[in-house]
Amino acid sequence: MFAKFEHLPTKRLELESRLSDPALMSRQDEYQKIAREHAHVVKMDDLYQDFLRAGEELVDSKRC
C-alpha cells in the first residue's frame, strides 16, 4: 500500500542535487518546475516519515 512512498527520500535527494546545479539557475523555467516538485516531494516525504515514526511508537508502546 505504501510502496509508492518508499522512493521519496531518494527522489528528494535527486531534486536537491539538481537544484544545487549552477547551470540550472540560468534556465529559470526549469528551475521553478524542479523547485515546485521538490517542495511537493519534501511535504510528502515528511508526512510519510511522521507516519512511519508514529507506527514505530505505537509498536513500542504495546511492548511495554
Sign, CA dihedral 50-51-56-61, equals positive
pLDDT in tens, 28-45: 999 999 999 999 999 999
Does the pTM of the predicted model rise above 0.95? no
Q: Tally Cβ neighbours within 10 Å of residue 41.
A: 20
2 confidence band (pLDDT: 50, 70, 90): confident
